[in-house]
Structure formats: structure tokens, C-alpha cells
Structure 1
């Protein structure tokens, strides 16, 4: 875990930015010895946001399953995908 005083961001922005990119980890900034901000590079932020969104979606699906919502077998999903591909291929050609 990288912890730096908040003054470090003003004094060493490029070093902090490089460290964020190299480690792909957030840097925690303190103010008066207390946690204040978290800084991370945009790629790390986007990756974490995508992961959180995926986890939320998986949790929602699992909650639906636990409540008894109908699911699909592998064979049913494969058939639906084949049907969608055939439909897309049919609409994508000029006849």
C-alpha cells in the first residue's frame, strides 16, 4: 500500500503519476496524518469500475436464481446464440 502526504501530489505530481501507472495500484494521500484522498491512474480506475459493474451484474443474476427465476441450460443458450447468429447473418446481406 502506497501512502503519501497530500503535499507530495503538489510537489511530485509526475513521480506520483508514474508510480500509479507502474504499480497499477492506488496511492493514498494523507492530510494532517489522516487519510484524505486516493489517487490512481485512469486505466486502473476503469478496470476497477468494470470489475465492480460485472460483480453487481453477477450478484443480481445470483439473487434472481435464488428467488427461483428460470435459468437456461447450456444447450438452450447455444441454440439461442445460433438462432441470433443466423438472424443477424440473414439481415446483414443484400439479397
Structure 2
């Protein structure tokens, strides 16, 4: 269940919300005038989230390359990697 707090709660109970964000890797949704306004999370949770987006982007790029035939045999790829390591 999402954690929802008002902007007044954020202003008045910052330390409590900060502690929650550091203890649970999920955002706290902040409302303003009864409507969703912000999502707040710890730096660690944010970095984890952005790392996943980067990984998913790289996986999609690889899948797009396979779909378009932009591939090479495994033995050729490994030979290229080994040649770069010995330079």
C-alpha cells in the first residue's frame, strides 16, 4: 500500500518521512490541496531505480539489434573482446 502524506506533513514531519524513505525502498507520495503533487524517495532508492532504467534500455537496445540482424557470431565477439584486453 502506498504511503501518502500531505505537503503539511512533509513540512512538519520531515525527519519521520526521511526515516521511512531510508527504511523502505518505496516512494512517499506527497499531496497538495488533496491532489498528488510529488513522489519522495531516498537517494539509494532513486539510484536503484535509475540503474534499472539504464539496464532495461541496454537490454532493449540489444533486442533491437538482434531483431534487425545487427549481430555477429559469438566466437568473433569474444575474439574482439580479447584483442581489446591485450592492447
Could you tell me the TM-score, scaled by structure 1's length?
A: 0.79
The answer for unaligned runs of 5 or more in structure 2 is: none
Name 1:55's counterpart in structure 2: 56
The runs of at least 4 consecutive aligned structure 1 residues that moved more than 4 Å come to none
The answer for unaligned runs of 5 or more in structure 1 is: 88-95
User: How many pairs align?
Assistant: 86
Q: Distance in 1 between matches of 2:12 and 2:83?
A: 59
Give the structure with higher Rg (CA).
1
Could you tell me the TM-score, scaled by structure 2's length?
A: 0.85
Deviations 1:29-48 (A, max 9, x none): 11222111000111111111
Q: CA RMSD in A?
A: 1.5
Following superposition, the deviation at residue 57 of structure 1 comes to: 1.5
